[in-house]
Amino acid sequence: MGRKSYNEGDVFLIPMHDGRFAVCQVICALRDRFKKAFSFGVMSIQRDETVSLEDGEFLVYSYGKRKSNVIFTSPKLLKDGTWRIIGNIPLTPAKKELQVFQCAGGVYNGDEFIRMVPPEEYSQYITMGVAGFELVQNHLLEMSNDK
């Protein structure tokens, strides 16, 4: 089968196009209506694969006019092992707050629907926009250039 399961708090590596590695942490391991996506934050970008599993703040990237530290994408590369899971660090309370997001006017905490919000409130929430793998790479490059 080879289909890997993944959970919130899992730490995994994304190989970057320039040969570096992004050390990432699963924020929402979405299962139900959003099972084609998951969200994660990036803890560091480094030259090699040696990782000390210690908690770190998520790096920030700009997306249009907004800054964010959460990326939504497909779990395909996580499931097939291209993005290797190397451990798990429980999410801090601050990171747990990043599990709340808005999608099509509904506010969710992970898989759980909370309520509908009017469009003028959308900007108060992280918006689920599922990035293709190339866009993920672009976000990673931008994060590493901010340093």
Would you kindly state where each structural domain of the chain is located, as residue ranges?
10-90+130-146
pTM: 0.93
Give the residue carrying structure tokens 């490059």. 141
Which tokens hold the place of 6? 């993944």
How far apart are alpha carbons 38 and 26 in whole angstroms?
Answer: 7
Longest dimension (CA), the chain: 45
pLDDT tens, per residue, the chain with 147 residues: 445 799 999 999 999 999 999 999 999 999 989 999 999 999 999 998 888 788 889 999 987 788 899 999 999 999 999 999 999 999 999 999 999 999 999 999 999 999 999 999 999 999 999 999 999 999 999 998 754
